[in-house]
Chains A and B, each alone.
Chain A
Amino acid sequence: MALFASQTSASMVRSGISDFWQRLRRSPIGLVGFFMLLVVVVLAVFAPWLAPYDPYAPVRARIDTIYAPPSWEHPMGTDDGGKDVLSSFIYGARVSLIVGFAASLISIFIGGLIGLVAGYYGGWVGNTLMRFTDTFLVIPDLPLIIVMVALLGPSLWNIILAIGILGWTGAARLVRSQVISIKERQFVTRARAIGASNPHIIFRHILPLALPLILANSTLVISLAILNESTLAFLGLGDPTTISWGSMLHFAFGRGAISAGAWWALVMPGLGIVWVVLGWTLFGYMLEELVNPRLRTHHLMPERKRAE
């Protein structure tokens, strides 16, 4: 990473991307994660074409259509209302991805902003912000999210807001420590010497260097957001107008799937959650190695086989 004034952020981003593709091809863990995520994205985007039935359409339930085991008409069986589980499963991918992305965007934006300001300005501003962050770090997040959604009402937007607002602490600390180390570098002193204003330095110089770390950390934030959303939905605080994997589990669990022996209604949505979170985690594992050279442990492994 050259520090000369002639190197623009754009060219750094471009070389970063090609670097990323190179590493991805060489990392089996990252590839597996990337593939898993791709499957989920395809499911979510092409849901209306992939799903055999429309899970939002009303169904007339009969005794034999409730909790029917997997068959040719219903490869994953039916749920407590006689609806096809496979279709609900495919549409459920949408909510997981939407909430995951939206909530983490909010978290990263707030956390990044706080981290940037705290790290760059330092002094009592930085200290106060960090004290504030530390206080929120101690408060357990799931109960707080539950309380907030219970009070605001269970709409998709409120859920995104609650999860997003309470997820900023990790990003803030990370960004702040990164900014502190960046701002001591020479090019910042030089920029100040030629009279660059503080916001200019922050956004045109420090932010592009801090961005890779923010991105690597974002996969963790997204995984947590998806897990939180499905937990909320399972506890009954999900948006009642949308189908998500968590809400599928909520209804299956609450409406006697266990007693009916309808394992398909319980196992499949859960597997979906595990799939998408695991995919993000593996992908993030590789991203972290990419961004933080100290984590690269390949050279520590004995030269036995190239399997990782």
Chain B
Amino acid sequence: MERRDYLIRKISWALFTIVFVATLNFFMFRILPGDPARALVRDPRLSKEVQDAIRARFGLDKPLLINTEGNPFDSQFFLYFAALARGDLGTSYNFNRPVADLLRERLVNTVILVLVGQFLAIALGLFLGLLASWRRGTVLDFGTLIFGLFTWSLPTFWLGIILLIVGSSRLGLPVGGMQTAGGRFTGTAYVLDVMRHMALPTFTFTIIMLGEYMLIMRSSLLEVLNEDYILTAKAKGLTDGQILRQHALRNAMLPVVTLVALNLGFTVAGAVQVETVFSWPGLGSAIYEAVTRRDYPMLQGAFLMIAICVVLANLAVELTYAYLDPRIKTA
């Protein structure tokens, strides 16, 4: 009963956040200066008819929030949300195609990169953290601590550049993109080609995220291993491996799940940088290209899509947390 309340509360909160982000998006792009559509409109060389036509085309002739004459919902604000509900994110200035189509193509690429990178980072990080905590106080422990702190201080894009230099010149890995230009591979050859292109970006992503998981696993295991029930288990005669598997790991996993949720913003930042450096055609590089080309509908759409993905991912993690921790009944 209480768990269902928790679920409902979490889901409605996620919905509220999405609406909040969309509203923020709307106001930022209308109120802050810099939109070329509005700049175009004020160009004195254009005749009045052309100015009005441009205004009408971009919907700038309608009032901002509420229409005081006629239909009160005929304002930029409500039209914006109506378009969102239809899945219409506007038309890209640069490509002259609907933004939603462009972003949909790129979303899959980002998801692949992020999921594989995160998975590897978690797996490797947990393993190394486990090793470090088990051999507490030794060089290995200290080494992993320093490694974790060091990778946390690395700018993601810089690590990407270094790996790009080393990887492309020494290992012959591709310099960028998702497929070899003009390759036209199909089937297994295509998959292999994509994997070759994915190697360096994923590796960069993994190293960046690795440090935190390692540190958190190490510290939470250290805490758990100091508990009395571990001593009891040892006295009972359980082997080290059994203690780990049956008692220590399960309780140490909870902070890791929390960390995945906290890291989502960090993950997005990492994705933007990695995709830019390696020219990986995903949502992150979409933001970068939109900024470079001043393609505001694209920028607005990409930001909204990224924010929604993060909110949904956060919700998924929170629901997982509720499933894992039987103590969760209220927020």
Residues of A within 8 A of B (CB): 135, 137-144, 146-148, 150-153, 223, 227, 230-231, 234-237, 246, 249, 253, 258, 263, 266-267, 270, 273-274, 277-278, 281-282, 285, 297, 300-302, 304, 307-308
Q: Which chain B residue has the least Cβ–Cβ distance from A282?
A: B149
B165/A140 in contact, CB under 8 A: no
Residue with the highest number of chain A CB atoms closer than 10 Å, among B28, B158, B265, B303: B158
Which residue of chain A has its CB nearest to the CB of B219? A297
User: Footprint of A on B, CB under 8 Å?
Assistant: 16-17, 20-21, 24, 28-29, 32-35, 136-137, 142, 149-150, 152-158, 161-162, 164-165, 168, 175, 222, 226, 264-265, 268-269, 272-273, 276-277, 287-288, 291-292, 294, 299-300, 302-303, 306-307, 310-311, 314
Chain A residues positioned under 8 Å from B16 (CB to CB):
135
CA distance A180 to B277 in the complex (A): 45
Q: Which residue of B lies closest to A279 (CB)?
A: B153
Q: Please judge, given known A-B contacts A142-B268, A143-B303, whether A285 and B310 are in contact too, CB under 8 Å.
A: no
Residues in B with CB closer than 8 Å to A142 are: 265, 268-269, 272
Looking at chain B's contact residues, is the secondary structure mostly helix, strand, loop, or mixed?
A: helix
CA distance A273 to B156 in the complex (A): 11
Given A138-B311, A266-B165, A278-B149, A151–B154 Cβ distance below 8 Å?
no
A300 to B224 Cα, complex, angstroms: 13
- Known A-B contacts A142-B272, A143-B287, A300-B226; the reply to A281 vs B152 at CB < 8 A is yes
| B162 and A153 within 8 A (CB) | no
Q: Which residues of A contact B161 (CB under 8 A)?
A: 249, 253, 258, 266, 270
Question: Which chain A residues border B264 with CB–CB below 8 Å?
Answer: 138, 140
Q: How far is the CA of A282 from the CA of B150 in the complex (A)?
A: 10
Distance of A236 from chain B, by nearest CB (Å): 6
B34 contacts A153, C-beta separation under 8 Å:
yes
B226, A273: Cβ atoms closer than 8 Å: no
Q: Give Cα A304–Cα B310 distance, bound, in whole angstroms.
A: 46
Contacts of A285 in B (CB 8 A): 149
Docked Cα-Cα span, A281 to B155, in Å, equals 13
Residues of chain A lying within 8 A (CB to CB) of residue B314: 138
Please state if B269 and A231 are interface contacts (CB–CB under 8 Å). yes
Q: Contacts A138-B311, A223-B153; is A300 near B222 (CB within 8 Å)?
A: yes
Chain B residue numbers with a CB within 8 Å of A237 are 291
Which residues of the other chain, A, contact B277 by a CB distance below 8 angstroms? 253
Interface residue from A139, A151, A281 paired with B34 (Cβ < 8 Å)? A151
Tell me, in angstroms, the Cα distance from A294 to B168 when the chains sit together: 46
Using Cβ atoms and an 8 Å threshold, which residues of chain A touch B32? Answer: 148, 151-152
Chain B nearest CB from A125 CB (Å) reads 18
User: Least Cβ distance of A100 to chain B in Å?
Assistant: 13
Q: Is chain A's binding surface mostly helix, strand, loop or mixed?
A: helix
Least distance between B76 CB and chain A CB atoms (Å): 16
User: Chain B's nearest CB lies how many Å from the CB of A267?
Assistant: 7
* Sample of 9 A–B contacts (CB below 8 Å): A137-B265, A140-B268, A147-B299, A150-B34, A151-B33, A235-B272, A274-B155, A300-B136, A302-B136
- Determine if A230 and B291 form an interchain contact, defined as CB atoms under 8 angstroms apart: no
A157 to B314, CA, bound (A): 32
Contacts of B175 in A (CB 8 A): 258
Task: Given A138-B311, A146-B291, answer yes or no on A153-B269 (Cβ-Cβ < 8 Å).
Answer: no
Q: Is the CB of A143 within 8 A of B272?
A: yes
Complex alpha-carbon distance, A253 and B314, angstroms:
34
Nearest CB of A to B123, in Å? 24
In angstroms, Cα B32 to Cα A4, docked, is 51
CB-contact partner of A281 in B149, B157, B303, under 8 A: B149
The listed residue with most B CB atoms (<10 A of its CB), out of A141, A147, A237, A249, is: A147
Contact (Cβ within 8 A) A266 B29: no
The distance from the CB of B298 to the nearest CB of chain A, in whole angstroms, is 11
Question: Most chain-A Cβ atoms within 10 A of its Cβ — which of B35, B152, B291, B303?
Answer: B291
A153 and B20 CA atoms in complex are apart in Å by 24
Q: A150-B299, A278-B153 are in contact. Are A140 and B33 (CB under 8 A)?
A: no
Q: Which of A147, A236, A263, A281 touches B292 (beta carbons < 8 Å)?
A: A236
- Select from chain B the residue with minimum beta-carbon distance to A228: B269
B20 CB contacts on chain A under 8 angstroms? 135
Q: Would you call B153 and A277 a contact (CB within 8 A)?
A: yes
How far apart are A235's CB and chain B's nearest CB, in angstroms?
6
Task: Tell me the smallest distance from the CB of A186 to a CB of chain B, in Å.
Answer: 30
Given contacts A147-B303, A234-B155, A278-B149, 13 further A-B contacts (CB under 8 A): A137-B265, A138-B310, A139-B21, A141-B265, A142-B272, A147-B299, A231-B157, A266-B162, A277-B153, A281-B149, A281-B153, A300-B136, A302-B136
Contact of A274 (CB < 8 Å), options: B153, B299, B306: B153
Inter-chain contact B34/A152, CB cutoff 8 Å? yes
- List chain B residues, Cβ under 8 A from A147: 28, 299-300, 303
Q: Assess the B28–A148 pair: CB atoms within 8 A.
A: yes
Contacts A150-B34, A278-B149; is A231 near B165 (CB within 8 Å)? no
**Closest-CB distance, B93 to chain A (whole angstroms):** 13
Given contacts A148-B28, A281-B153, A282-B149, contact A140 B158 (CB under 8 A): no
Q: B152 to chain A: which residues have CB within 8 Å?
A: 281
Cα–Cα, bound, A95→B162 (Å) = 23
Closest residue of B by beta carbon distance from A280 = B153
Return chain B residues, CB-CB under 8 Å to A234: 155, 157, 273
Of all chain A residues, the one with the shortest Cβ separation from B307 is: A139
B155 lies within 8 A of A138 (CB): no
The answer on a CB contact under 8 Å between A150 and B310 is no
Q: Kindly provide the distance from the CB of B304 to the nearest chain A CB, expressed in whole angstroms.
A: 9
Q: Which residue of chain A is the closest to B265 with respect to CB atoms? A: A140
Q: How far is the CB of B52 from chain A (nearest CB, A)?
A: 25
Return B135 CB to nearest CB of chain A, in Å: 11
Interchain CB contact (< 8 A) of B310 among A140, A223, A297: A140
Which residues from B are CB-within-8-Å of A152? Answer: 32-34
